[in-house]
């Protein structure tokens, strides 16, 4: 779905209605109400932009903006696959602001920590006299983007928790508008976290600057379509490629598809294609590179549907790739991840060597690949996990 096509629709609701009329989406009243709420926010942002255009950045960097100048953003929570990300991405495309940013929340926080560390290094080297890194970091972030859209807003790291209140107070003072999607209520952020009482002021601050909306859509509409499609496609040919693309469209429809990355022990693991709650790789992306269990675990913590294209028949000469594939399938299976795979052969014929430990271990992998196609497995995979509820 081309981003250019989005530009011909002046509102999120009109874009949503067009997708419904084309048959790409089923009408859902909760999604439509959220689309209308996004359009109201677009009008609020556009009005503020026009009202402050003549004053350049005066409003943006005013730390004592009058109450009536605040544009309240949105915090949308709900179960996986209900359309939160899809609608937020439409908003991000259509909101008439040049300085805007759409990011996964954990990536944004990694950027914040890098900026803070850079400021501390500059202080140590005598390049600045400003001891507190938060104000200059907030200045830079607000200057670059005064509309921030975050996907998967979650707080699990104590380092993030301890700076969020001060950072976002500074951003809100600079006029930044926040839009975020999450699986949890604001009150449940950083639940049971270490020193959580120090985090609670952030929750109060957040709720004064956003309207909290529960997207209680009728179903996980993407998995509903995806579960009607085959999840293991072989052999590799034009038809399996077409069916993989069809399933990918069902998993990501309406969402922006782009590359992504996750950071594991200081290394960046590239995700070639990602949209909404799904990520797509080739076998070579995942198993021909020196990746391990920690990398695969980091990927599935962010994405709950994994596509793997072009799994080849493996032999003893490719035992290292086979070993990684064994580890990958174990992690996907143990975490009830929804998979869609295209392969050169059926699971029991993917590993043809009859020697080495991989030959024995691959029997388990083949068994799991068969089970991961079953209705029971797919039904379990569709349920939100405790962490995401």
Query: What one-character-per-residue DSSP string does 11-77 give?
Result: SHHHHHHHHHHTTSS---HHHHHHHHHHHHHHHHHHHHHHHHGGGTTTTTT-TT--GGG---EEEEE
Distance CA 142, CA 148 (A): 9
The separation between CA 326 and the C-alpha centre of its own chain, rounded to angstroms, equals 26
The CATH number of domain 3-214 is 3.40.630.180:
no
| Angle of CA points 198, 202, 205, to nearest 5° | 140
Dihedral angle sign, alpha carbons of residues 318, 321, 322, 323: positive
Task: Return the closest-CA partner of residue 306 out of 231, 229, 233.
Answer: 231
What confidence tens digit (pLDDT) does each residue in 166-193 have?
A: 999 999 999 999 999 998 899 999 988 8
**pLDDT surpassing 50 at residue 2:** no
Which region among 239-243, 264-268, 308-312, 336-340 has the lowest average model confidence (pLDDT)?
264-268
Model confidence at 222, pLDDT cuts 50, 70, 90, reads low
Residue range 104-128: average pLDDT?
91
pLDDT tens-place string over residues 3-24: 333 344 579 999 999 988 988 7
**DSSP for 165-183, written as a single string:** HHHHHHHHHTT-EEEEEES
Predicted local confidence at residue 175, as pLDDT = 93
Note the residue count of the chain.
Answer: 389
pLDDT for position 4: 38
Shared fold status for 3-214 and 221-388: yes
Task: Kindly state the average pLDDT of the residues 255-275.
Answer: 88
Mean pLDDT value across residues 84-111: 91
Q: Among 1.10.287, 3.10.20, 3.40.50, 1.10.3470, what is the CATH number of 221-388?
A: 3.40.50
Judged by average pLDDT, the poorest of 131-135, 190-194, 302-306, 345-349 is: 190-194
235: cis peptide before it, omega within 30°? yes
Tell if the pTM clears 0.85, that is, is over it.
no
Q: Is residue 47 very low, low, confident or very high in pLDDT (cuts 50, 70, 90)? A: confident
Question: Residue 131: which pLDDT band, with cuts at 50, 70 and 90?
Answer: very high
CB atoms within 10 A of CB 191: 12
Q: Which residue has the higher pLDDT, 350 or 85?
A: 350
Q: How many H-runs (helices) and E-runs (strands) does the chain carry? A: 15, 11
Supply the mean pLDDT for the chain.
85
Kindly state the average pLDDT of the residues 39-59: 72
Structure tokens belonging to residue 60: 């943006």
Query: What residue segments make up the domains of the chain, in order of their start?
Result: 3-214, 221-388
């Amino acid at each position: 779905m081309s981003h250019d096509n989005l530009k011909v629709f002046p509102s999120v609701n009109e874009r949503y209605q067009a997708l419904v009329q084309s048959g790409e989406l089923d009408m859902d009243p909760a999604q439509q109400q959220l689309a209308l709420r996004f359009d109201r926010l677009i009008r609020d942002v556009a009005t503020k932009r026009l009202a402050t255009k003549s004053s350049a950045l005066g409003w943006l960097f005013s730390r004592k903006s009058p109450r009536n100048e605040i544009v309240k953003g949105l915090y949308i929570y709900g179960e996986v696959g209900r359309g939160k990300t899809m609608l937020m991405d439409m908003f991000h495309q259509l909101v008439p602001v040049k300085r805007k940013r759409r990011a996964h929340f954990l990536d944004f926080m990694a950027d914040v920590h890098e900026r803070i560390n850079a400021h501390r290094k500059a202080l140590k080297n005598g390049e600045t006299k400003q001891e507190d890194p938060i104000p200059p970091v907030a200045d830079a972030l607000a200057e670059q983007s005064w509309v921030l859209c975050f996907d998967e807003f979650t707080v699990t790291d104590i380092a993030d928790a301890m700076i969020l209140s001060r950072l976002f107070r500074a951003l809100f003072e600079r006029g930044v508008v926040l839009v975020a999607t999450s699986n949890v209520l604001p009150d449940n952020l950083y639940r049971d976290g270490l020193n959580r009482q120090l985090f609670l002021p952030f929750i109060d601050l957040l709720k004064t600057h956003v309207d909290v909306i529960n997207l209680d859509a009728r179903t996980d509409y993407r998995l509903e379509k995806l579960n009607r499609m085959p999840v293991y496609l072989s052999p590799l040919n034009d038809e399996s490629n077409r069916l993989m693309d069809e399933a990918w469209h069902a998993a990501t429809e309406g969402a922006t598809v782009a590359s992504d990355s996750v950071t594991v022990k200081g290394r960046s693991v590239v995700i070639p294609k990602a949209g909404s709650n799904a990520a797509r790789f080739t076998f070579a992306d995942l198993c021909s590179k020196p990746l391990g269990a920690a990398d695969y675990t980091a990927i599935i913590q962010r994405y709950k549907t994994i596509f793997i294209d072009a799994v080849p028949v493996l032999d003893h000469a490719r035992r290292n790739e086979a070993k990684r594939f064994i580890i990958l399938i174990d992690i996907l299976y143990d975490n009830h991840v929804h998979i869609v795979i295209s392969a050169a052969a059926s699971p029991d014929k993917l590993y043809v060597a009859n020697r080495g430990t991989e030959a024995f271990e691959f029997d388990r992998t083949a068994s799991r690949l068969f089970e991961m196609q079953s209705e029971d497995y797919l039904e379990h995979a569709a349920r939100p996990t405790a962490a995401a509820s």
